[in-house]
Structure 1
C-alpha cells in the first residue's frame, strides 16, 4: 500500500526494538507513525529491531496513521541491512525516512533497492548536519524526495550549540525556504523536554509561523499540543472562507477585505488552510 501525497501535521516515532509500544504508535492518532531503526536503537539491538519492525506494518494498522520507518544512513552497513530487510516485508512502509542526508545520492541508493513496479514509498530526508544545510538546494531537487525533516539534536551537536530556538533559527529558515521552493513539506524537529508542554506549544507555534507543515513528537502526550497548534482555528477558517468567497466573485482581481489588500498568494493560502481544516484530526493522549 503506497500513499501518493506527502503527509504533514503530527509525526510520532517509536523504537523498533520495543514492539510492546507498537500498539500505542498505531492508535495514538498521529498523522504519521514511524518505527525507528536508527538512533533510538542501541547497536546490539538493531537485528532485533529489524525483525520486530516487520510486525509494525500490518494491513489493519495501515487503516489508521500513515506508517513509515526511519532507517540508518544508507551509507552505513546498518543502513544496507535495514534496506535489504525491508524488501522482504509482506506489508511495506508507506514512508521511508533517510537520516544524515547530505546528497541526492542517498535517494538513489534507497530507491534503487526498494522501488519496484508495485512499490514506490515516499522518501523523506532528515536534515541534521551543517553540510546538509549547505547543500539543501540540491537535496530538495532529488527525483524521489517527498519532504524534509529537521533534526535539532545532531545539528546542535555538530555546531556545538544548544537546541534553543535562536541557535537553530538559521537552519530552520534555510530548510523551510528550500522545501517551499521545491514544493515539498518541511516537518520540524521534536521537542525533547517531555514535561514542558508550555515550551512545546511555544516552539510549535514558532515552527508553524516560520513555515513548517508539522512537527515530530517523541511521546504520545505531546501529540495533542502539536495537533492543536497546526489545526486551523475557527477564526482562521472563517477568515479563509471570507477570502475565498470574495475572490470567487472578483473574477481574479485583487480584492480588499477590511484594511487588507488580498492578492492571489493570499487566496491560495486561504484555500490551502480550508483543505487542511477539512481533514479529520483525532489524537489520543
Structure 2
C-alpha cells in the first residue's frame, strides 16, 4: 500500500473517531434531535454512515452482491438513501453506535488489505482504495457537520479537509453531468486558504482564466451541500466557474437539493 493511501486511511479513522467521541456522550433523547437534513435526526445521520460503510464494504469484498444493491438503488433513486437511514435510526442508540463502529472498522481493514491497483464499483465511477477511503472520509465529515450543527457545537477544522476539497474539485464534471449539463471544456484554477491560515491549497493551471477562491472550510461546506453558496466566502471568476458553485457536489448519486440561505 502506498504512503498516500495509508495517510488517507489514517485520516478516515481520525474523522470517524472524532464524531464517535461526540455522539458517544449523548443521552438517548439527544439522538432524536433534528438536523438540517429534512426528516433526519442525529440517529439518521449516524445510521446513514453505518449504511454507506456497509455498502462500501460490500463493494470492496463482493462486487456481484454490490451490483445487486446498485440495481435496488436504481429502482428507487429518490427513496433508497432515506430508507437505509430510517431503518438504522429505529435502533436503540447503543446498538446503532456499535453497528457503526463495527462496520467502519471492518471497512478500514478491508481497504488496508486491498491489493495495489485495486478498483471497486460504486454508485458513481469505480473507486481506487484511496478514492474509496477519501469518499468515506468526505461523507463522515459532511454528516458529522450536521450533527455538530444540530447540537449547537462548533467543530475546529483540520487539515483532513484537504481530502474533502480534493474530491470536490475532482467531482466538478460529475456535478454538471448529473444535472444533464455539458461540463466546461477547460480546467479551473482553485485556490483555497488552509484552515490554519498558513497555506494555500491549489488545483488546476495557475494561468486558467476561470477561478474559484476562498476559505477551504467554506468550499468543503459548499461542495458537500451543507451551506448555501451565499453564506460562504467562496468566489468565482468566469461564467462556468460561477455556475459550478451553484451546483457543486462532492458526493455520488442524484443531484442534491442543497441548503437554503441562512434566514430564509
Q: Which structure features the higher share of helix residues? A: 2
Q: TM-score normalized by structure 2?
A: 0.34
Structure showing greater radius of gyration is 1
